[in-house]
Amino acid sequence: MKQKLTLIAFFALFLTGFSACKKEEFSEKPLKYKMFGKWQVEKITRAVTGQAPVTENYNAPGDYIDFRENDDDDFEQSLDGDRAIGTWTVNIDDSFVLRYSFGSLSAKLDNISESRFQFTGTTRNAQGQTETHTYYLKR
């Protein structure tokens, strides 16, 4: 009888442990973890205050943003062969900041899925004007 109880207890413990290891769905993950990895840049729309928006199409394999999963929250961006590196920080409200050596982009999530990522951010250009950038990324 004692062996049966021990076996039943072991089996119940095993089932509890196994069922607790459910894989987290993409939609349940925090934004930071959804952003990790390399995203190919399809296009970027830039609008300067008082001017018509301009869309630049990319889509080459070398046009990407790579949000690295490390302690420093580094990212690398490559557009038309111009490479920039920096750090990024995600806030509680699904906004985030990309910090480059030449400035920063304060961004807000538009939408994200496992294969698509769109965000809009603002920065100041060399003339002191506000620029709005909308990034369209894919995997």
Give pLDDT, residue 5. 53
Give pLDDT, residue 28. 87
Give pLDDT, residue 38. 96
Give pLDDT, residue 67. 97
DSSP state of 82: E
3-state secondary structure 39-56: EEEEEEEEEECCCCCEEE
Per residue of the chain (139 residues), what is the pLDDT tens digit? 566 655 565 555 555 555 555 566 888 899 999 999 999 999 999 999 889 999 999 988 899 999 999 989 999 999 999 999 999 999 989 999 999 988 899 999 999 999 999 999 999 888 888 999 999 999 9
Report the distance separating Cα 42 and Cα 2, nearest Å: 65
C-alpha R_g of the chain: 22
Give pLDDT, residue 6. 59
Report the distance separating Cα 73 and Cα 96, nearest Å: 12
